[in-house]
Amino acid sequence: MASLICSVGSFIIIPFGFVPGIICGHLAMKQLRQEPGLKGRGLAKAGLVVGYVGLVVCVILAVALLAFGFSLAKLHAK
């Protein structure tokens, strides 16, 4: 549950919750493997998926913003 909450909450406080969401998801999956009777596999997987997708989107946006900034800098340098 913590993984999903951190990952989804990251869309509000970008990107600070993605990494804890991913870590919590992996810890939950490890605990679920060790104790098969526990429930919550779906929540852990959802937290991992949302966390990784959000992290990839943040990285793509950061690269795009950097590229845009460098292109503006080149235009002003001429």
Where exactly are the structural domains of the chain? Answer: 2-77
Say what angle helices 18-34 and 2-9 make with each other, to 10 degrees.
Answer: 160
* pLDDT tens-digit readout, 25-42: 999 999 999 998 999 899
pLDDT for residue 14 is more than 70: no
| Average pLDDT score over the chain | 84
Cβ atoms of 32 and 44 within 8 Å: the answer is yes
Say what angle helices 41-77 and 18-34 make with each other, to 10 degrees.
Answer: 150
pLDDT for residue 78 is more than 70: no
Residues 6+ away with beta carbon under 8 Å from 55? 15, 18, 19, 22
Residue 60: what pLDDT?
93
